[in-house]
C-alpha cells in the first residue's frame, strides 16, 4: 500500500486512522478534530516558521499552566470557545439565571463560612454587601444550596495570583438558609487584565486586542436536584462591559452596586465609612424536570 502523498490523501488517511476506535464518541471527536485542523492548515497555508511558532506557543502554555494559572483556559476564553460551549450547552428554562465562564482563577478548597461572613482576609477596597435568594424557576426557596464565591481585590488580583494574600482571601462557600437567602461581605470588584505575560497576552498584543475584563464577582451554585450554575455578578458602572476580553457579559447578569451611607441602619457589622450593596437572586433549573422533558421529546 502506497503512503498518501497529496493533501487530500493525507487528510483522508489521518481521518481513517480512527475508524477502528471502539468508543464512538471518541472516534467522532477525533475525526472531526482532524478534519477541521487539516481544513485550517489548508485555508491559511502556514509557513514552517509559523507552524513552529504555533507549536512553541503551546509548549509555553503548558509550562505556564499549574494549580494557580491555567493558560489553556485563557486560550479557550479569549478565542470565544468557552462562551461558545456555554451557549451550546445552555438548556435552561425561561427564568433560570444565565451561566457564563468559570475562568482560570477558581480554586478548590474555599472555606465554608457562615451567613453574612466577611470574605476579606486583608484590608483594602470598598466593602460591598452581596445578598439575595437561591430559588427554583417557580419561585420556591432552595435551602442548603451551596454558593462558592470568588473575586479579585483592589489590586486587580485574585488570591491565587497574589503571593502576598492569604490563601482564602476573597473566597468562600456559603449555604443558603431555610428561606433560600444568602449574604456575604466582599469588596467592590475592579476591572482587571487577564494574565498577559504569556502566549495569550502576546497574541492579544499582536492583534491589537486589549486583555481587560469588566468588574465582576464569580458565583457557582449547586443544590440537590438542580442543575449546577456558574455565573457572574457584573458591576453596572464598570468599564469594558461592551468589550470583555473573554466575551462573557450577559445583560441579565449586570447589577447596580448601590452606594450606602456609613450610618445606614442596614450597615453590615464591622463596616465603617461608605459601603455598597448589590442584590442578585439566583434561579436554578430543576434537573429532574429537564430529564422528564428530554424523555418526552425523545419519545415523540
- Return the pLDDT at 296: 47
> Quick check: is 76 in a domain?
no
Task: Clarify whether residues 245 and 212 are in a common domain.
Answer: yes
> Quick check: is 216 in a domain?
yes
Query: Is residue 1 scored above 70 in pLDDT?
Result: no
d(CA 130, CA 115): 11
> Quick check: is 2 in a domain?
no
Task: Clarify whether residues 90 and 44 are in a common domain.
Answer: no
Task: Clarify whether residues 39 and 157 are in a common domain.
Answer: no
Work out whether the CA dihedral 281, 285, 288, 293 comes out positive or negative.
positive
> Quick check: is 286 in a domain?
yes
Please name every residue paired with 159 in a beta bridge, in sequence order, or none if there are none.
Answer: none
> Quick check: is 71 in a domain?
no
Task: Clarify whether residues 87 and 51 are in a common domain.
Answer: no
Among the listed residues 243, 128, 125, the one whose alpha carbon sits nearest the alpha carbon of residue 194 = 243
**pLDDT tens for each residue of 16-37:** 999 999 999 999 999 999 999 9
Who contacts 67 (Cβ-Cβ below 8 Å, separation ≥6)?
A: 107, 160
Query: Is residue 292 scored above 90 in pLDDT?
Result: no
Task: Clarify whether residues 149 and 189 are in a common domain.
Answer: yes
**pLDDT tens for each residue of 85-138:** 999 987 788 899 999 999 889 989 999 999 999 999 998 899 999 999 999 999
> Quick check: is 75 in a domain?
no
d(CA 232, CA 284): 14
Q: Which domain holds residue 216?
A: 81-292
Q: 46: part of which helix (H) or strand (E)?
A: none
> Quick check: is 150 in a domain?
yes
Total domains in the chain come to 2
Task: Clarify whether residues 52 and 106 are in a common domain.
Answer: no
Domain-terminating residue out of 23, 41, 66: 66
Who contacts 144 (Cβ-Cβ below 8 Å, separation ≥6)?
A: 175, 176, 223, 224
How many alpha carbons fall within 13 Å on the CB side of residue 99? 24
Burial class (CB in 10 A: 0-12, 13-18, 19+), 121: middle
- Return the pLDDT at 89: 82
Reported in sequence order, the residue ranges of 109-160 that DSSP labels E, i.e. its strands, are 127-136, 146-151
| Helices of type H across 48-93 | 48-64, 71-78, 81-89
Read off the pLDDT band of 233 (50, 70, 90). Answer: very high
d(CA 29, CA 8): 20
d(CA 164, CA 168): 12
Task: Clarify whether residues 87 and 191 are in a common domain.
Answer: yes
Question: Locate cell 482560570: which residue?
Answer: 104
Amino acid at each position: 500500500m502506497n503512503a498518501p502523498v497529496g493533501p487530500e490523501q493525507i487528510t483522508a488517511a489521518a481521518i481513517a486512522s480512527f475508524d477502528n476506535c471502539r468508543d464512538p464518541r471518541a472516534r467522532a471527536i477525533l475525526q472531526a478534530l482532524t478534519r477541521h485542523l487539516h481544513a485550517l492548515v489548508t485555508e491559511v497555508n502556514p509557513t514552517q516558521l509559523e507552524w513552529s511558532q504555533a507549536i512553541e506557543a503551546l509548549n509555553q502554555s503548558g509550562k505556564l499552566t499549574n494549580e494557580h494559572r491555567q493558560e489553556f483556559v485563557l486560550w479557550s476564553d479569549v478565542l470565544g470557545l468557552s462562551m461558545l460551549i456555554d451557549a451550546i450547552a445552555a438548556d435552561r428554562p425561561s427564568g433560570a439565571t444565565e451561566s457564563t465562564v468559570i475562568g482560570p482563577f477558581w480554586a478548590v478548597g474555599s472555606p465554608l463560612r457562615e451567613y453574612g461572613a466577611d470574605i476579606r482576609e486583608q484590608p483594602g477596597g470598598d466593602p460591598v454587601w452581596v445578598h439575595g435568594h437561591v430559588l427554583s424557576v417557580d419561585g420556591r426557596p432552595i435551602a442548603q444550596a451551596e454558593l462558592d464565591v470568588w473575586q479579585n481585590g483592589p489590586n486587580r488580583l485574585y488570591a491565587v495570583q497574589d503571593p502576598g494574600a492569604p490563601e482564602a482571601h476573597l473566597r468562600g462557600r456559603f449555604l443558603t438558609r431555610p428561606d433560600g437567602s444568602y449574604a456575604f461581605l466582599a469588596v467592590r470588584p475592579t476591572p482587571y487584565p487577564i494574565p498577559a505575560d504569556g502566549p495569550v497576552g502576546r497574541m492579544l498584543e499582536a492583534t491589537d486586542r486589549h486583555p481587560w475584563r469588566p468588574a465582576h464577582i464569580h458565583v457557582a451554585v449547586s443544590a440537590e436536584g438542580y442543575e449546577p450554575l456558574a455565573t457572574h455578578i457584573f458591576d453596572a458602572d464598570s468599564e469594558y462591559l461592551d468589550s470583555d476580553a473573554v466575551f462573557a457579559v450577559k445583560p441579565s447578569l449586570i447589577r447596580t452596586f448601590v452606594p450606602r451611607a456609613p450610618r445606614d441602619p442596614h450597615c453590615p457589622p464591622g463596616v465603617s465609612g461608605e459601603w455598597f450593596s448589590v442584590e442578585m437572586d439566583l434561579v436554578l433549573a430543576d434537573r429532574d424536570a429537564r430529564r422528564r422533558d428530554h424523555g418526552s421529546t425523545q419519545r415523540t
